[in-house]
């Protein structure tokens, strides 16, 4: 499973990229606004660090506006994937952009039906938001199972990008279901690394090593 980092923070991206486990980055307007910087400047810097897809979201809601913004975003760097909301206009924009070989990520997906439509429109990635479904009392992971199972019968090229990940258990569940990608906040990536038994084991090895004659 590929792992993307869900952030627009350069420090986090630089650090995680250095660990060699990140395949791409996803941003959204809320993440970008937290940084207090111009969107284009952030994107250029992210693309200079990450050798992989970098999702950048349009904020227009009509087909024309989304396509115009999408083309401009794609011109910034070849790594940029245009993130488009899951609406009728968003599907149209996905179709138009993908016919121009501009990669797209259909976002704000909350059902397997929406994911099927995104695939039909030619999306490169589809982003089901599992954490937000959990928040309203649904089983978010169930739609990942439904989407992966539905796609498996057909030859869609769309990859399932599990989004709105809240904790490491989500990652294990997504991987077991065969999702192509998960995008995760930096704190979740850090908590995947740590295990108390690793820390205790390392401490003991280093202590024992001190008794080895040098």
- Chain positions 179 to 198 lying near ligand E4P, rule: CB under 6 A, are 183
Partners of 6 in the beta sheet?
26
Binding flag, residue 86, ligand E4P (CB under 6 A) = no
Pairing of strands 24-26, 80-85: unpaired
For residues 71 and 171, give the distance between their C-alpha atoms in angstroms, rounded to a whole number. Answer: 32
Question: Residue 66, exposed/middle/buried by CB under 10 A (0-12, 13-18, 19+)?
Answer: buried
Which region among 41-49, 127-135, 146-154, 189-197 touches ligand E4P (by CB under 6 A)? 127-135
Q: Does 132 bind ligand E4P (CB under 6 A)?
A: yes
Q: Which of 2, 34, 68, 83 is catalytic?
A: 83
C-alpha 147 chain-centroid distance: 16
What is the nearest approach in angstroms of ligand E4P to the Cβ of residue 149?
22
Task: Quote the CA–CA distance of 23 and 57 in Å, as a whole number.
Answer: 18
16-55 binders of ligand E4P (CB under 6 A):
26, 28
Active site residue 120: no
Binding site for ligand E4P (CB under 6 A): 6, 26, 28, 107, 127, 129, 131-132, 163-164, 183
Write out the catalytic residue numbers: 83
């Amino acid at each position: 499973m590929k792992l993307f980092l869900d952030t627009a923070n350069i420090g986090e991206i630089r650090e995680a990229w250095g660990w060699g486990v990140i395949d791409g980055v996803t941003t959204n307007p809320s993440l970008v606004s937290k940084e207090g910087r111009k969107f284009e400047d952030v994107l250029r810097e992210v693309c200079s660090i990450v050798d992989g897809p970098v999702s950048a979201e349009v904020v227009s809601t009509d087909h024309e506006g989304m396509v115009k913004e999408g083309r401009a975003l794609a011109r910034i760097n070849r790594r940029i994937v245009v993130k488009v909301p899951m609406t009728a206009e968003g599907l149209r924009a996905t179709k138009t952009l993908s016919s121009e070989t501009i990669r797209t990520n259909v976002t704000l997906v909350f059902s397997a039906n929406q994911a099927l439509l995104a695939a039909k429109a030619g999306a490169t990635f589809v982003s089901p938001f599992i954490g937000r479904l959990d928040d309203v009392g649904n089983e978010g992971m169930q739609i990942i199972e439904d989407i992966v199972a539905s796609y498996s019968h057909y030859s869609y090229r769309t990859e399932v990008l599990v989004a709105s990940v809240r904790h490491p258990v989500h990652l294990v569940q997504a991987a077991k279901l065969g999702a192509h990608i998960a995008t995760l906040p930096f704190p979740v990536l850090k908590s995947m690394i740590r295990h108390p038994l690793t820390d205790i084991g390392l401490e003991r090895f280093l202590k024992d090593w001190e008794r080895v004659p040098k």
